[in-house]
Amino acid sequence: MAGYDDDFDAVYVPRAGASPNKEDHNSVKPILQTYPPLGQATPVGDGHINIRLVLQTSSHDEKEDQWEVLLWHSIDESGWSEAPFHQVDKHNEPHILQDVSVQRINRFYEVPVDFQRSLKFTLKFRQNSRSPWVWVRDEHGFDDAIIVRQVTQLQSKDLGDFLGDLNPEWEVKGCLSESPGTQLWSLKASIPLATDDVSGTRSIRIASPPASFLRWFALVRQKAPWIAPRQGRGQLALQEDAVLCAFLGSDGRHVVFLAVSSVDNVTAVLQSDSDGALLAYGRSDADADHPKSECTILVAEGIDFNHAVAAVTYYSRKLRSQPYTASEKETKIGDEVKTQWYQKWNDGLGYCTWNSLGQDLTENTILNALDDLARNDINISTLIIDDNWQSIDTEGANPFQRSLLDFEANTAGFPDGLKATVSRIKKNHPNILHIGVWHALLGYWGGISPNGKLAKSYETIELDSERSGRVDLPLKDKITTVSKDDVGRFYKDFYAFLEDAGITAVKTDAQFMVDNWSSASARRELLNEYFDAWIIASLIHFSMDVVSCMSLFPQAVFYSQLQPTRPSFRVRTSDDFFPHILDSHAWHVWANAQNCIFMQYLNIIPDWDMFQSVGDYAGFHAAARCVSGGPVYITDVPGKHDLELLKQIAATNPLGRSTVFRPSVVGRSLLPFAGYKDGLFLQIGSYHGASGTGTSILGTFNVSDRALTELIPLSIFPGVASSTHYVVRAHSTGRVTAPISPNTAQEFVTCSLDVQGYEIFSVYPLVAIQSNKYGEVSIANLGLLGKMTGCAAVISNRIESRSNGRLLIDTNIKAFGVLGLYVSTLRRMTIDDFMVTIQEKPIPPSTVSVSPVSEFVLEIDVERAFKEMNLDTQWYNEVEVKIYFTT
């Protein structure tokens, strides 16, 4: 990564104002934040709001503290006035689940405000009447908060109702949206055809953004292979080409623009001009034999932001001018497809050789690394052999200019061949079920070597390649690649060779190389052909157990990742994990979470890349991977492992296989319009289980360079219902709230994080049972305790009242561990009131206890019980636990 170490922010991170000085929670400076948060624009449904404030101060002079806080606000754009904050009643104070430093004190305040359309506010504070007033902007850099009253229904009949200067060159058509509460339009304009093998291009003004918009959000092309988030306020200013651009209006509506590619051989992106108007830029590879050439932009209006993003994404599936060619070919595959439960590839802990073993990759280094994992009782089920195993030529100044000679592994590192290496791995480490290998879409970074065995076996052509735009990817100007007529056979033979060697998966990297071809005819005829060949071979040989990497360019997204006509597969959702660049760690998690705002609607499994269990941000990365909904895999250097951290992300099932706990819903940022340097937590929301009865998950990450404390309302957790009572549990401590409901005074949880800090909150719906003995009993299955997303260990859960007065909780879990059960009446009960069985056999009473951190949580040590009972594990890949007690 030469050239990135010293200037990561300049390359990756959008420009922003200066951040306050770094500080932690031991600082004597007060830390504060409101809800709705300072510096942000927040739509609300009601014109009456209770602004909440948490003020965290030093405890050393508590007796002298008489803190005063004033709200300075403007109602409906009128003059500014002040109103005092008052301390919150003890009964309504936000819940504190984390450990609190003895050096800090939390104080909670509130002030009610009524408004019709909008409210702007900031605040000032002082320690006592002798101290000077301090403005929060001066102390912490927070801009004013903006609250707008959100419209309850959409009024627009035409696109011109909110895009007043819409360019008449666009053909506008209303479309039927598949997403609730949204309206949808398509815009089409012609793009010049390619001439003399040069793509036709056109820049077309769309319109000024919606009037009086408050914030904008975009996903831009971060160089050739990736997308990345951008946010702003005021004038729209896109520094890079965007795929998606969204606006938050002053009435709380959201407008989303999506540039659709891979239709009519056209690539489309969004841009802005110096006046802040939105433009479309189209590149057409169509010629006179394919005369239709149109740029397509989809526009959705919605009250709910995610519904608007879903509307444009779902409709883009219908816009293919030609059938999805791979699906036609897939129908002819028939019995060639190898049937597998594809989730096994994603549900076990994985290990990758890239950052761990580096470029000097050999059979011995791999075997030694696996032996090291085994010695440390790190049980992996998936191995990815990354770059540097292949036979490549030595031409070119760097690896990115070298090309593939043969399918077989290089003889220097793998003298007996790939098959022998795989055989030794499986013999020495039978716990490893899946072994994948890395390769580039074109074979290697520099394509196919014109002097190698492959060039003699397959027809090749030489194509001009555009530069990648990245200092770390100095690519060749001309690349030899397999021709259209032979690419299908090439992939069939390549993957047959790998399968015969014992390989069960592939990581197909450098996919953007097909977008770097400058020839319009090559792009038109070869680009989709490569995707088709890769997908078909992946289906036949690996059941789509693949990782698509460096593939977040428009044609790949809309051609191979959007369509629901084949199994989902893993797609890397941001640029690489760079362990040696400290500034990259928080940004890596941020970018993945923001990108998944859009990518959650594609037919993919998001892959947030590998990480290392040792390092300043190790837990930060681990928590992010756990809430992502994607795979979890490490790249630890041999001998450098955090075993306690690894225990929090994985467990062993009865068959001895490692299991990670992936939520069933993709994790994504809940605050699309909050900027990276706005001084707010990154909030990643996910969900596991069925609607209404599942568990909501919120990962909070401090991506700032200072300590932060925030108030988090239950109502922002994904999937919660206003009519349901819940308990919230913090992973860091295991503490659980009292029962609470959304949109009530008691719904807030306090979260305090130092720099690099993270927390995972899980929200469990309560099931209320009427009992003759205890009155109402509320119950929740907490899943496996001590695991970051232990709620996702629950496969099924059934609560049944029996005629004999007993209550049965029947649950199946994926792996061993400590199962937690919330029981609202537990402190009035004893362990003797419960009977627990595993495989219908009572477990030892010593394996059941009350949690030391919560008197309402029953802990059942399933793993210990299994061992003490010597239960047979040969035929079970999950554990059934039944809990009985008399009500």
What's the burial of 188, exposed, middle or buried (CB within 10 Å: 0-12/13-18/19+)?
middle
Residue 19 is predicted with a pLDDT of 45
* Strand pairing category for 434-440 and 505-509: parallel
HEC profile for 472-487? CCCCCCEEEEECHHHH
HSE value, Cβ hemisphere, 13 Å, CA-based, for 6: 3
Phi, psi of 516 (to 5 degrees): -90, -10
- How far apart, in Å, are the Cα atoms of 432 and each of 489, 654, 659? 30, 15, 12
Which helix (H) or strand (E) segment holds residue 113: the answer is strand 104-114
Which residue shows structure tokens 């519904």? 307
Kindly tell me if the per-residue pLDDT of 324 is higher than 70: no
Least confident of 30-34, 465-469, 864-868: 465-469
- Please choose, from the candidates 568, 549, 556, the residue with its C-alpha nearest in 3D space to the C-alpha of residue 436: 549
With contact defined as beta carbons under 8 Å apart, do 507 and 546 qualify?
Answer: yes
- Rounded CA gap, 192 and 294, in Å? 9
The answer for 709, left when phi > 0, alpha when psi is -120 to 50, beta otherwise, is beta
- Rounded CA gap, 450 and 456, in Å? 8
Neighbours of 333 (CB within 10 A): 12
Edge-to-edge strand ranges of the sheet holding 775-785:
767-771, 775-785, 818-823, 857-861, 848-850
Residue 17 is predicted with a pLDDT of 45
- How far apart, in Å, are the Cα atoms of 212 and each of 114, 150, 274, 583? 22, 14, 18, 35
Q: Where do the DSSP E strands lie in 826-878?
A: 834-838, 841-842, 848-850, 857-861
Residue 64 is predicted with a pLDDT of 63
Instruction: Outline where 603-748 has alpha helix (H).
Output: 618-628, 643-649
- Rounded CA gap, 309 and 601, in Å? 8
- Residues in contact with 847: Cβ distance below 8 Å, sequence separation at least 6, in sequence order: 836, 860, 861, 862, 864, 865, 868
With the C-alpha atoms ordered 561, 562, 566, 570, is the resulting torsion angle positive or negative? positive
- Residues in contact with 202: Cβ distance below 8 Å, sequence separation at least 6, in sequence order: 189, 190, 191, 192, 281, 282, 295
- Please choose, from the candidates 544, 467, 568, 570, the residue with its C-alpha nearest in 3D space to the C-alpha of residue 512: 467
Mean pLDDT in the chain? 93
- Rounded CA gap, 589 and 319, in Å? 32
pLDDT band at 343 (very low <50, low <70, confident <90, very high): very low
Residue 192 is predicted with a pLDDT of 97
Tell me which CATH code domain 331-350+360-567 carries. 3.20.20.70
Give the DSSP letter of residue 463.
E
pLDDT band at 359 (very low <50, low <70, confident <90, very high): confident
Neighbours of 47 (CB within 10 A): 16
With contact defined as beta carbons under 8 Å apart, do 682 and 608 qualify?
Answer: no
Residue 534 is predicted with a pLDDT of 98
3 state SS of 682: strand
Encoded amino acid at 6, one letter: D
Per-residue pLDDT reduced to its tens digit, 183-212: 999 999 999 999 999 999 999 999 999 988
Quick one: average pLDDT of 473-486?
A: 91
Per-residue pLDDT reduced to its tens digit, 754-779: 999 999 999 999 999 998 889 999 99
- Rounded CA gap, 795 and 785, in Å? 15
Per-residue pLDDT reduced to its tens digit, 787-827: 999 999 999 999 998 888 899 999 999 999 999 999 999 99
Phi, psi of 102 (to 5 degrees): -65, -15
- Rounded CA gap, 282 and 289, in Å? 19
Position with higher pLDDT, 565 vs 555? 555
Residues of the chain with pLDDT > 90, as a percent, come to 84
Residue 341 is predicted with a pLDDT of 36
Kindly tell me if the per-residue pLDDT of 836 is higher than 60: yes
- Rounded CA gap, 439 and 487, in Å? 15
Tell me which CATH code domain 31-149 carries. 2.60.40.10
Quick one: average pLDDT of 242-251?
A: 98
With contact defined as beta carbons under 8 Å apart, do 199 and 191 qualify?
Answer: no
pLDDT band at 20 (very low <50, low <70, confident <90, very high): very low
Q: Domain locations in the chain? A: 31-149, 159-322, 331-350+360-567, 766-887
With contact defined as beta carbons under 8 Å apart, do 528 and 487 qualify?
Answer: no
With contact defined as beta carbons under 8 Å apart, do 483 and 462 qualify?
Answer: no
- Rounded CA gap, 258 and 185, in Å? 11
- Residues in contact with 356: Cβ distance below 8 Å, sequence separation at least 6, in sequence order: 369, 612, 634, 635, 636, 637, 638
pLDDT band at 700 (very low <50, low <70, confident <90, very high): very high
Per-residue pLDDT reduced to its tens digit, 60-74: 766 667 899 999 999
- Rounded CA gap, 519 and 522, in Å? 5
- One DSSP character per residue, 153-216 reads S---SSGGGT-TT--TTSEEEEE--SSTTEEEEEEEEE-PPPBTTB-EEEEEEEEPPSTT--EE
Position with higher pLDDT, 206 vs 20? 206
Q: Name the token pair of 292.
A: 């239709």
- Please choose, from the candidates 529, 524, 571, the residue with its C-alpha nearest in 3D space to the C-alpha of residue 552: 571
The answer for 672, left when phi > 0, alpha when psi is -120 to 50, beta otherwise, is alpha
Per-residue pLDDT reduced to its tens digit, 373-414: 999 999 999 999 999 999 999 876 688 899 999 999 999 999
Kindly tell me if the per-residue pLDDT of 328 is higher than 80: no
With contact defined as beta carbons under 8 Å apart, do 135 and 122 qualify?
Answer: yes
Neighbours of 804 (CB within 10 A): 7
Residue length of the chain: 887
Residue 320 is predicted with a pLDDT of 67
Phi, psi of 521 (to 5 degrees): -70, -40
With contact defined as beta carbons under 8 Å apart, do 215 and 233 qualify?
Answer: yes
What burial letters (b/e) apply to 720-743, b meaning 16+ CB within 10 Å? beeebbbbbbbbbebbbbebbbbe
Per-residue pLDDT reduced to its tens digit, 600-631: 999 999 999 999 999 999 999 999 999 999 99
Per-residue pLDDT reduced to its tens digit, 276-301: 999 999 999 999 988 889 999 999 99
Q: Name the token pair of 755.
A: 């720099």
Quick one: average pLDDT of 354-367?
A: 96
With contact defined as beta carbons under 8 Å apart, do 709 and 52 qualify?
Answer: no
